[in-house]
């Protein structure tokens, strides 16, 4: 499930795979920590997703460029160091240009460096393919991750505050469910969404099977 | 308050009230490693060891190297480098003492190094501007908290292996939902330290 | 041959489950009656809402999940009833509905149904409600008969203001609190019935109560008031004894109950929440598989002496 299928080398396919069928958070289970912790609001989810996506893209491109140079046991340390450098850059950009978001995301901005999504894509895709493929994979996965985080954030904000992106959606009589903003709520939301996505996906593939026969 | 009492309270805070896995939500990528009790205990102990050493190591690098050089922007790569180094060292040490254990840990070494909990503790220590002793204890106690969470998780998942969980929830989704109930239970520790 | 593995308890047939559940429902009736007696219309609404919602939720979930609809085994009724009895009488009805649905679907259904949950559904739902809507879950009214919730005179529970009630008042339930937990007499009647019908063993209720008593005394409180206030007795009899979520071995159950008693006292005394029972038992539910691991019965032929015997 986590390997790069040959058919997905085409940029269009990679994009679709990253967002839907191979969605890193909701299908592959990658990048859980930020998804559980910061997605209290939709804006946090979006911001975290985009920041991670940028670091992912830069890391993947770098790893792809360096792919002949390092092999064996030293690969993982290399991936970590590369992503740490780009995470540091992201930290500086966020601190300088988006201070409110930076404050909201807190300690999870430097933790982008050890996001298993970035590590996994570097290991599975970028270190084994050329620049175009690595870029397509990174963009697809990055978009998928951002979409997933934004979705989780939007749902948690809706249930926990009655708003989405700060705009009140539910009527004022709504009693917010505070659990949504808590760790327990985060685990529950991501777990349920993963289940729903998997059920929908298997329902679709079941339909395709029966259409073929 | 006496020193011992403060340390004990700090321990209760790290292990229960502000559990790094279930309350502060760091180290959750290790959920995949928590399927069997023995493996979870091994991963947890190794991570706790790495966390203790790297908390201290990162503190030293941060205070004695980065701060004088006014190079706080290098903190993340520097800390990651320290963690990788210590992970490799610990693994080598274990390899000398118990080679069989080293074999068993092979897959989880990446997780010890790439664990948000390890880097997160190091970063938070710098933010809190604590002393070396406090950093070391913070690494140790948070490591114990991580071990507790992952062992409890494994206990639950071993039980779940025999349950009739619906197909689309099997594996990670139901593990997350279990973690949700565990996190809910751990909220009972609020205010204890 | 089709071998199906499942967690303990292992003997399940709809008949025997139904019989057990019926006994529990009968045992709960005195508490329900006492609750309605003290807190009136609000209490009745909540009990009915939570029970009906639990049954409906289980029915809908089992249909959605493509399983056989097993509401006839009455386990949903028990869950709904216990949750209802755990709510403050002035809570809004939708709280009961959401709580029951959570208990039956999320805590039980998603894990595979009866026997597969690892925490007590009613307790987990109560914790969820407490965390989600604290202002409704911590609003108490004085016991004033049928219109207690209509007039809604806000009052402090025995845990919030210790010493304001006599032991007799605490025992008969003439105090603010959750619907089913206040009348200790009713709870003891229920316990007697459960023990007589051999539905539960004395081990957990007695050990938990004794442990809470002892630790309360050790930490400097009034031990009698401690076990007569709040939900200790109700939980000891009806929730800690849930077969599915407590350890399997006898020794394990003693450890489980003793630790639960300690946690109750610690949370009450030092923690944020005035009532520690909910979280204490949930935490011990989580620890139960580990307790079972540690307190394993030695199988004959294995262990230290085995090699000598086996030659």
Span A153-193, pLDDT tens digits:
999 999 999 999 988 888 888 899 999 999 999 999 999 99
Task: Note whether residue A1 is domain-resident.
Answer: no
CA-based nearest residue to A124, from A52, A59, A203: A59
- Distance from C-alpha of C17 to C-alpha of B116, rounded to nearest angstrom: 45
Q: Please state the domain extents for chain B.
A: 10-189
Q: Which of C106, C110, C132 sits opposite A177 (nearest CB)?
A: C132
Angle between helices A183-212 and B172-186 (to 10 degrees): 160
For residue A195, list chain B residues with Cβ-Cβ distance below 8 A: 166, 168-169, 173-174
- Contact between residue C275 and residue C229 where contact means Cβ atoms under 8 Å apart: no
- Determine contact: B2 vs chain C, CB below 8 A: no
CA-based nearest residue to A186, from A70, A22, A45, A87: A45
Cβ pair B119:A113 closer than 8 A: yes
Q: Which residue spans within B47-87 are E strands per DSSP?
A: none
Residue A7 pLDDT exceeds 50: no
Query: Domains in chain A: how many in total?
Result: 1
- pLDDT confidence of residue C306: 47
Cβ pair C133:A188 closer than 8 A: no
- Determine contact: A200 vs chain C, CB below 8 A: no
pLDDT tens for each residue of C124-152: 999 999 999 999 999 898 888 888 777 77
Q: What is the mean pLDDT of chain A?
A: 87
Range of the domain at A67: 33-154
**CATH domain C14-295 topology:** Ammonium transporter fold (1.10.3430)
Probe site for chain B from A31, A81, A107, A118 (most B CB atoms < 10 A)? A107
Q: Which of A30, A76, A107 sits opposite B123 (nearest CB)?
A: A107
The pLDDT tens digits along chain C (311 residues) read: 555 555 555 555 555 888 889 999 999 999 999 999 999 888 999 999 999 999 999 999 998 888 877 767 789 999 999 999 999 999 999 999 999 999 999 999 999 888 899 999 999 999 999 999 999 999 898 888 888 777 777 888 888 888 888 888 888 888 899 999 999 999 999 999 999 998 898 999 999 999 999 999 999 888 998 899 889 999 999 999 998 899 988 999 999 999 999 999 999 999 999 888 999 999 999 999 999 888 875 555 555 554 544 44
- Determine contact: C266 vs chain B, CB below 8 A: yes
Distance from CA of B147 to the nearest CA of C (A): 13
With a CB-CB cutoff of 8 Å, which residues 173-192 of chain A face chain C? 175, 177-180, 182, 184, 188
- Determine contact: B177 vs chain C, CB below 8 A: yes
Burial A30-58 (b: 16+ CB within 10 A, else e): bbbbbbbbbbbbbbbbbbbbbbbbbbbbb
Local structure of B100: helix, strand or coil: helix
- Determine contact: C8 vs chain B, CB below 8 A: no
- pLDDT confidence of residue C162: 81
Cβ pair C270:B192 closer than 8 A: yes
Q: Please state the domain extents for chain C.
A: 14-295
Task: Note whether residue A210 is domain-resident.
Answer: no
Cβ pair B164:C107 closer than 8 A: no
């Amino acid at each position: 499930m986590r390997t790069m299928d040959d058919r997905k080398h085409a940029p269009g396919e990679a994009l679709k795979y990253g967002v839907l069928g191979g969605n890193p958070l909701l299908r592959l289970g990658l990048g859980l920590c930020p998804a559980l912790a910061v997605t209290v609001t939709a804006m946090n989810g979006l911001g975290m997703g985009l920041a991670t996506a940028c670091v992912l893209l830069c890391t993947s491109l770098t790893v792809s460029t360096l792919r002949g140079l390092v092999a064996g046991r030293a690969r993982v340390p290399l991936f970590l160091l590369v992503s740490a450098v780009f995470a540091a850059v992201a930290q500086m950009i966020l601190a300088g240009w988006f201070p409110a978001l930076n404050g909201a995301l807190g300690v999870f901005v430097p933790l982008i460096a050890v996001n298993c999504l970035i590590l996994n894509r570097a290991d599975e895709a970028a270190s084994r393919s050329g620049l175009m493929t690595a870029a397509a994979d990174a963009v697809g996965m990055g978009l998928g991750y951002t979409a997933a985080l934004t979705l989780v954030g939007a749902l948690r904000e809706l249930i926990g505050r009655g708003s989405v992106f700060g705009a009140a959606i539910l009527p004022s009589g709504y009693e917010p469910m505070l659990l949504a903003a808590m760790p327990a709520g985060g685990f529950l939301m991501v777990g349920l969404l993963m289940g729903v996505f998997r059920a929908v996906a298997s329902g679709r593939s079941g339909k395709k099977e029966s259409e073929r026969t | 308050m006496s020193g011992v009492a403060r340390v004990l309270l700090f321990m209760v805070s790290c292990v229960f009230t502000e559990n790094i896995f279930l309350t502060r939500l760091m180290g959750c990528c290790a959920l995949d490693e928590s399927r069997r009790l023995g493996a979870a205990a091994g991963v947890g102990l190794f991570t706790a060891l790495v966390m203790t050493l790297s908390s201290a190591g990162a503190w030293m690098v941060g205070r004695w190297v980065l701060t004088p050089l006014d190079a706080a922007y290098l903190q993340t790569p520097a800390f990651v480098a320290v963690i990788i180094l210590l992970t490799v060292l610990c693994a080598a040490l274990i390899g000398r003492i118990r080679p069989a254990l080293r074999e068993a840990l092979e897959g989880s070494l990446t997780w010890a190094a790439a664990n948000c909990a390890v880097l997160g503790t190091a970063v938070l220590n710098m933010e809190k501007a604590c002393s070396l002793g406090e950093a070391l204890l913070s690494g140790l106690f948070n490591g114990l908290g991580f071990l507790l969470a992952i062992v409890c998780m494994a206990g639950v998942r071993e039980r779940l292996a025999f349950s009739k969980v619906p197909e689309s929830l099997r594996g990670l989704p139901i593990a997350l939902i279990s973690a949700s109930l565990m996190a809910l239970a751990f909220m009972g520790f609020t205010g204890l330290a | 041959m089709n071998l199906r593995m499942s967690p303990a308890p292992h003997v399940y047939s709809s008949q025997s489950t139904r019989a057990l559940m019926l006994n529990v429902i009968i045992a709960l009736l005195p508490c329900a009656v006492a609750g309605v007696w003290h807190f009136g219309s609000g209490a009745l609404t909540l009990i009915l809402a939570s029970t009906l919602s639990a049954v409906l939720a289980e029915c809908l979930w089992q249909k959605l999940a493509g399983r056989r609809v097993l509401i006839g085994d009455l386990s949903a009724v028990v869950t709904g009833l216990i949750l209802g009895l755990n709510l403050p009488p002035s809570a809004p009805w939708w709280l009961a509905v959401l709580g029951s649905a959570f208990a039956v679907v999320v805590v039980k259904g998603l894990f595979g149904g009866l026997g597969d949950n690892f925490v007590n559904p009613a307790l987990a739902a109560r914790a969820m409600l407490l965390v989600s809507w604290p202002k409704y879950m911590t609003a108490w009214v004085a016991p004033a008969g049928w219109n207690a919730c209509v007039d809604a005179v806000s009052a402090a529970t025995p845990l919030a203001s210790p010493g304001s009630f006599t032991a007799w008042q605490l025992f008969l339930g003439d105090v603010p609190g959750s619907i089913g937990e206040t009348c200790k007499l009713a709870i003891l009647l229920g316990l007697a019935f459960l023990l007589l019908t051999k539905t539960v063993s004395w081990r957990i209720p007695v050990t938990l109560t004794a442990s809470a008593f002892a630790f309360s005394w050790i930490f400097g409180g009034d031990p009698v008031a401690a076990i007569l206030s709040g939900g200790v007795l109700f939980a000891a009899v009806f929730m800690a004894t849930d077969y599915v979520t407590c350890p399997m071995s006898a020794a394990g159950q003693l450890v489980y109950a003793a630790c639960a008693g300690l946690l109750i006292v610690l949370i009450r005394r030092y923690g944020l929440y005035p009532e520690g029972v909910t979280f204490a038992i949930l935490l011990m539910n989580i620890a139960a598989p580990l307790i079972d691991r540690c307190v394993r019965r030695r199988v004959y032929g294995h262990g230290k002496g085995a090699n000598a015997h086996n030659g």
